[in-house]
Amino acid sequence: MSVSVSIDNAVAVVTVDRREAMNALDVTAAHTLRDRLAELATDSAVRCVILTGAGEKSFIAGADLKMMAQFDYEQGKAFVDLGHEIARLLETMPKPTIAAINGYALGGGCELALACDMRYAASHARLGQPEVNHGLIPGWGGTQRLARVTSLGFAKDLIFTGRLIDTDEALRHGLINGIGDPVLNKARETAQLITRKGPESIAIAKSFLNRALQGDYLETLADEAAALAHTLPTPEAREGLAAFLEKRPAAFQEPGA
């Protein structure tokens, strides 16, 4: 199976396994990844999703270039659109997503990591947007998300040169949140911390954080204030505030429970 899912303690781990191709995505694997993420997005028992690759060599080495070399315009456009669907699912699902970068995160693989809310990398990992080396450009949102996550100047550096960077440089520029070995354990630690928080408040906070670099600033601030007022009388907020006042851990329920 090219994509597997395991769920433990409200944390889903999605693993891309095409080790024969450095976990690069072909059409079948991309469709499967999209479908699995869509299922997890609506699964109330899952509070955090980790994306990783099988083995220790590669996270996701982008799209399968052997496949792409055979594409005409229509096939290429369909595959690019599919990649955008995957990225948007990671970016917008109402629960945090974490990339556990266990090796090479290249091209579309780096772009999918950028679409996640947080990124942790193994010390040996390498990241980059090498598309220009092949006469291509980043096509799964890399030109936009890389500039927003790091800076415009650094994004131009990586995209124009096509060079790969190590985890120390990635951390300095904010491309990753941290380095850990084994990286999946590092990602799980953060995921477990998140699962102990209120899932509805996390979902609302994520939706507003995603608007931080887009849309109208003042309008978003007004919407944020209204959303906070809306959360105050909810059972989740009542439990969280009561737990604070009673000096005990909060016992948050699954949404709709």
Which sequence positions are flagged as catalytic? 111, 131
Residue type, 98: I
CA of residue 225 relative to chain centroid, distance: 26
Q: Tell me the three-class secondary structure of the chain, residue by residue.
A: CCEEEEEECCEEEEEECCHHHCCCECHHHHHHHHHHHHHHHCCCCCCEEEEEECCCCEEECCECHHHHCCCCHHHHHHHHHHHHHHHHHHHHCCCCEEEEECCEEECHHHHHHHHCCEEEECCCCEEECHHHHHCCCCCCCHHHHHHHHCCHHHHHHHHHHCCEEEHHHHHHCCCCCEECCCHHHHHHHHHHHHHCCCHHHHHHHHHHHCCCCCCCHHHHHHHHHHHHHHHCCCHHHHHHHHHHHCCCCCCCCCCCC
198 touches 237 (CB < 8 A): yes
Collect all residues with Cβ–Cβ distance below 8 Å to 1 and sequence separation of at least 6. 17, 32
Query: Token pair for residue 163?
Result: 């060079």
